[in-house]
C-alpha cells in the first residue's frame, strides 16, 4: 500500500483535488465546480466520492494518511472556513470536521498561500529552509510566512495577509474595504489596472491599447514586454516598485533568507522580479542589504495548489 | 543554593546588570558606564568582576545558571554584537564567548526589545501567551515578535525591526539612512519633533513653547496633555495615528493576540494608547477587527531591561 495524502484546493471557481505520494508526485488529480454546490454537506459528499473515484483509478493500492485543504479564510486552528467573501457558504463552515466524517483521517485546513508555503518547503525550492516567505501573485495576493521551521498562524489562525498590508496610503480601493493594499497593485487585476492607467496617461504606442480591459491578463503584459512594448515595461517597473517597497518592510519584520514568488504575475519572470529586487534593496535597512533572495517558486505551475495542500499532511505527520 | 540568572542590558550610555531568581525577583542590581571601556576585553572583565561583587553582596548563596544579554544589534544565533552604531566596539564582537570564558555558563544574547518580549512572557503581562508583540517606544523604537511561543529571529538573527518599517513614504529622515521609519515618529525624539512642528504651525497657546527643544521630553508632553494643552494632545493624536496605521499592517503579518507597549512614550498611557488603538482598528481588515489588544507592558519600569535579559536564560533552560 502506497501512503498518500489527499490535497484539495478550494477556489471561488474550481475545486482541484488529487492524491499525492510522500515525494510530491501526484498519482491522480481532477477538478469540479465550487459554486455548483450551495449546500456544504452536498459539496463535501460530492468531493469525497470524487476522491474515492480517483483512488480507484490509480493502478497501485493506496492508503490515505490525511487530507490537506487550502481554502480562502481557512483557519488552521479550528479547521473552519470563516466568512469567505468568494464562496457561497456563509458564516463559519466546519470543513475539516465534515471531511473527517467521510474519511476518518486527519484533516488539516489553512489558506491557499500557507499551503503553498508548506508545498515549497516539502517539494519546491525551500527544502531545508527554516525562515522564508511565500508570496502568491494571482487573482489576489496571498502569503505564507515560515519562521523557525513553522508557519505563522497568529493567535486566531489568520496571520500572513501580506496582500492586505498598506502599500500606498489612501491608494486604490481594495475588495477588503481598505485602501492601498498590496493586492490592489501586485495582483493580476492590479497589474492590469496599472496598464490601463499608463495607457490613458501616456502617448506611447502599445499593443495593449488594442485589448479589451476585461480580457487583458498578465500574460498579455508579459508578451508585450518581451516585444519591447514601453507600456508593458513601465507597468512591471511600477508594480515592482510598489511590491519591492512593501517587501522591504516585510524583511524588517521577518528577515527571511528567501522570498518565493508564485502565481500569474510571477510568470513574467525577471520583468517583475528585477524591479521588485531593486526597489526592495533600495528600501532595506543596511543590516539586511544583499542578503534576502527574491526567487521564482520551485513548485510546478499546473498542480502547485494540490501539492501544497497535500504537503500540509506530511508536514503534520513529520 | 538559589538558582539565578544574570541579566545584562547594554545601552549606549549605561550597562545595567543584575542577578534575578526564577520568579523574576532581582536580588541585586547595579550599573556602570558603557563608553568608558574602549577595549571590549577590559569591559567584559570589569562587568564580570562587578557581577561577582553583586553575587557576594546578597545574603543567600546563589548558583549562576546563565547570563542573558540584551544589546543593540545583538545576534541570537552567533552571540555577537554586529556593527552597533551607538557602541564604541566596532565590527563583530563575540560577546557571548567572552562572557562564557569568565563564567563557563550558557550565555544568550539578543537585542534589547527581544529580551523585553521574553521578559514580558516570563514575568509580565504575556504569561502563557504564544502569539504577541512587544513594542518599545524609547530613544529608538524596537520590537520583539513572539509566534508559536518563540521569538522571530529570522534567518540572520536580526528580524523584528518594527522601528524601521516605513510609516510615511518619503517621510522624516531616520538614523538608519531610510526615510519615514516608524522610529522617526513614535520614538521619544519623534514625539518631540512632532511637538516642534505643531508649535511652529499652530497659533495655539502652549506651555511646550517655553521649553528648549533639546530639553523637551515625552514626560513634558504628557504633563502638558494632562493640563489640557492642545499642542500636546494633538502631538499624541498624530503620533498615535502613524503608530496605529503601522500596527494595523503588523497585525496583517502576525495577528498577535496582544501588543505590549513599553518605554518613555508609552508612559503617557491612554494619551498615546487611545489614538493608537483607534487608528489601528480603522486600518485593520475586517477579519482582524476588535480582536487585538494594545496594552501597556506589565514589566516594572525600573529594571525591565535586566529582567528581560535574565529571562532569556530561563526561557532557554525551559
C-alpha distance from A63 to closest chain B C-alpha (Å): 31
Strand partners, A134: A144, A260
The three three-digit cell numbers of residue A237, written as one number = 517597473
Give the span between the Cα atoms of A89 and A44, in whole angstroms. 12
A183-206: per-residue pLDDT in tens?
999 999 999 999 999 999 988 889
What pLDDT is recorded for position B304? 87
What pLDDT is recorded for position B203? 87
Nearest to A303 by CA among A29, A33, A44: A29
- Whether the per-residue pLDDT at B302 is higher than 90: the answer is no
Question: What confidence category does residue A304 fall into, taking pLDDT thresholds of 50, 70 and 90?
Answer: confident
What pLDDT is recorded for position A280? 98
- Whether the per-residue pLDDT at B202 is higher than 90: the answer is no
**Neighboring chain A residues of B161 at a CB cutoff of 8 Å:** 252-253, 285, 287
B218-246: per-residue pLDDT in tens?
999 999 999 999 999 999 999 999 999 99
> Quick one: closest CA in A to B283, which residue?
A178
Range A106-135 average pLDDT: 95
Extract long-range pairs of B192-198: CB within 8 Å, 24+ residues apart: B192/B216, B192/B217, B192/B218, B192/B221, B194/B235, B194/B238, B194/B239, B195/B221, B195/B231, B195/B232, B195/B235, B198/B231, B198/B234, B198/B235, B198/B238
What pLDDT is recorded for position B169? 96
Please tell me which of the candidates B83, B155, B165 has its beta carbon nearest to residue A256. B155
Percentage of chain B lying above the pLDDT 90 cut: 88
Q: Does B147 touch chain A (CB under 8 A)?
A: yes
β-strands B258-262, B132-137 pairing: parallel
What pLDDT is recorded for position A190? 97
- Whether the per-residue pLDDT at A84 is higher than 90: the answer is no
Q: Does B145 touch chain A (CB under 8 A)?
A: yes
More confident: A304 or A155: A155
> Quick one: closest CA in B to A75, which residue?
B287
A38-50: per-residue pLDDT in tens?
999 999 999 999 9
What pLDDT is recorded for position A86? 81
> Quick one: closest CA in B to A161, which residue?
B252
**Neighboring chain B residues of A286 at a CB cutoff of 8 Å:** 176-177
Q: Residue with C-alpha cell 545583538?
A: B74
Distances (CA, A) of B17 to A16, A67, A225, B30, B76: 58, 52, 60, 6, 19
Q: Does B91 touch chain A (CB under 8 A)?
A: no
- Whether the per-residue pLDDT at B271 is higher than 90: the answer is yes
Contact B152 A252 (CB under 8 A): no
H or E stretch at B19: strand B14-21
Please tell me which of the candidates A176, A248, A285 has its beta carbon nearest to residue B286. A176
Lowest mean pLDDT among A58-62, A64-68, B161-165, B301-305: B301-305
- Whether the per-residue pLDDT at A291 is higher than 90: the answer is yes
> Quick one: closest CA in A to B293, which residue?
A155
Which alpha helices (H) appear in chain A, and where do they start and end?
40-57, 95-103, 112-123, 183-186, 188-201, 218-226, 230-254, 270-282, 304-317
Range B203-220 average pLDDT: 91
Question: What confidence category does residue A318 fall into, taking pLDDT thresholds of 50, 70 and 90?
Answer: confident
C-alpha distance from B102 to closest chain A C-alpha (Å): 30
Q: Does A254 touch chain B (CB under 8 A)?
A: yes
- Whether the per-residue pLDDT at B56 is higher than 90: the answer is yes
Nearest to B262 by CA among B307, B195, B212: B307
Question: What confidence category does residue B272 fall into, taking pLDDT thresholds of 50, 70 and 90?
Answer: very high
Q: Does A291 touch chain B (CB under 8 A)?
A: yes
- Whether the per-residue pLDDT at B9 is higher than 90: the answer is yes
How does the average pLDDT of chain B come out, rounded? Answer: 95
B64-73: per-residue pLDDT in tens?
999 999 998 8
Nearest to A293 by CA among B155, B181, B169, B253: B155
Please tell me which of the candidates A155, A249, A283 has its beta carbon nearest to residue B131. A155
b/e burial code for range A185-203 (CB count within 10 A of at least 16 → b): bbbbbbbbbbbbebbeeee
The three three-digit cell numbers of residue A220, written as one number = 498579455
What pLDDT is recorded for position B317? 87
Please tell me which of the candidates B82, B252, B256 has its beta carbon nearest to residue A155. B256
Give the span between the Cα atoms of A257 and B127, in whole angstroms. 30
Is the Cβ–Cβ distance between A296 and A273 less than 8 Å?
yes
Question: What confidence category does residue B6 fall into, taking pLDDT thresholds of 50, 70 and 90?
Answer: very high
Q: Does B178 touch chain A (CB under 8 A)?
A: yes
CB–CB contacts below 8 A, A to B = 142
Give the span between the Cα atoms of B248 and A104, in whole angstroms. 39
Which alpha helices (H) appear in chain B, and where do they start and end?
40-57, 95-103, 112-123, 183-186, 188-201, 218-226, 230-254, 270-282, 304-317
Residue B16 sits at φ, ψ, to 5 deg, of -100, 145
Q: Does A149 touch chain B (CB under 8 A)?
A: no
Question: What confidence category does residue B12 fall into, taking pLDDT thresholds of 50, 70 and 90?
Answer: confident
Question: What confidence category does residue B146 fall into, taking pLDDT thresholds of 50, 70 and 90?
Answer: very high
Q: Residue with C-alpha cell 477588503?
A: A176
A235-262: per-residue pLDDT in tens?
999 999 999 999 999 999 999 999 999 9
Question: What confidence category does residue B168 fall into, taking pLDDT thresholds of 50, 70 and 90?
Answer: very high
> Quick one: closest CA in B to A82, which residue?
B287
What pLDDT is recorded for position B21? 95
Range B112-126 average pLDDT: 94
Distances (CA, A) of B315 to A253, A314, B132, B161, B276: 22, 29, 16, 21, 30
Give the span between the Cα atoms of A193 and B230, in whole angstroms. 43
C-alpha distance from B144 to closest chain A C-alpha (Å): 9
Give the span between the Cα atoms of A301 and A283, in whole angstroms. 30
- Whether the per-residue pLDDT at A83 is higher than 90: the answer is no
Contact B130 A73 (CB under 8 A): no
Q: Which region holds residue B133: left if phi is over 0, alpha if psi is between -120 and 50, else beta?
A: beta
Give the span between the Cα atoms of B44 and A297, in whole angstroms. 46
What pLDDT is recorded for position A199? 93
A149-190: per-residue pLDDT in tens?
999 999 999 999 999 999 999 999 998 999 999 999 999 999
- Residue B192 CA neighbour count, 13 Å, CB half: 18
Residue B170 burial (C-beta neighbours within 10 Å; 0-12, 13-18, 19+) = exposed
Give the span between the Cα atoms of B80 and A275, in whole angstroms. 34
Q: Does A155 touch chain B (CB under 8 A)?
A: yes
Range B258-282 average pLDDT: 97
Amino acid at each position: 500500500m502506497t501512503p498518500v495524502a489527499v490535497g484539495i484546493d478550494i477556489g471561488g471557481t474550481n475545486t482541484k483535488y488529487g492524491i499525492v505520494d510522500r515525494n510530491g508526485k501526484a498519482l491522480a488529480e481532477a477538478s469540479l465546480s465550487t459554486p455548483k454546490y450551495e449546500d456544504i454537506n452536498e459539496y463535501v459528499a460530492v468531493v469525497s466520492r470524487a476522491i474515492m473515484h480517483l483512488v480507484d483509478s490509480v493502478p497501485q493500492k493506496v492508503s490515505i494518511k490525511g487530507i490537506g485543504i487550502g481554502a480562502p479564510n481557512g483557519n488552521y486552528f479550528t479547521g473552519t472556513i470563516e466568512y469567505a467573501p468568494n464562496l457561497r457558504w456563509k458564516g463559519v463552515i466546519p470543513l475539516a470536521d465534515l471531511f473527517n466524517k467521510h474519511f476518518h483521517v486527519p484533516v488539516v485546513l489553512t489558506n491557499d498561500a500557507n499551503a503553498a508555503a508548506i508545498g515549497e518547503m516539502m517539494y519546491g525550492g525551500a527544502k531545508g529552509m527554516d525562515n522564508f516567505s511565500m508570496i502568491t501573485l494571482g487573482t489576489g495576493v496571498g502569503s505564507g510566512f515560515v519562521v523557525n521551521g513553522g508557519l505563522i498562524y497568529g493567535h486566531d489562525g489568520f496571520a500572513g495577509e501580506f496582500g492586505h498590508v498598506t502599500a500606498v496610503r489612501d491608494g486604490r480601493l481594495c475588495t477588503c474595504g481598505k485602501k492601498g493594499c498590496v493586492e490592489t497593485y501586485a495582483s493580476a487585476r492590479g497589474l492590469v489596472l496599472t496598464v490601463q492607467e499608463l495607457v490613458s496617461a501616456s502617448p506611447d504606442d502599445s499593443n495593449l491599447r488594442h485589448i479589451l480591459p476585461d480580457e487583458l491578463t498578465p500574460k498579455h503584459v508579459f508578451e508585450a514586454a518581451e516585444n519591447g512594448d514601453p507600456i508593458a515595461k513601465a507597468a512591471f517597473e511600477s508594480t515592482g516598485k510598489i511590491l519591492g517597497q512593501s517587501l522591504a518592510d516585510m524583511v524588517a519584520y521577518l528577515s527571511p533568507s528567501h522570498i518565493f514568488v508564485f502565481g500569474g504575475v510571477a510568470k513574467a519572470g525577471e520583468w517583475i522580479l528585477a524591479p521588485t529586487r531593486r526597489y526592495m534593496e533600495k528600501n532595506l535597512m543596511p543590516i539586511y542589504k544583499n542578503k534576502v533572495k527574491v526567487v521564482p517558486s520551485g513548485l510546478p505551475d499546473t498542480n502547485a495548489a494540490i501539492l501544497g495542500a497535500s504537503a500540509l499532511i506530511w508536514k503534520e505527520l513529520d
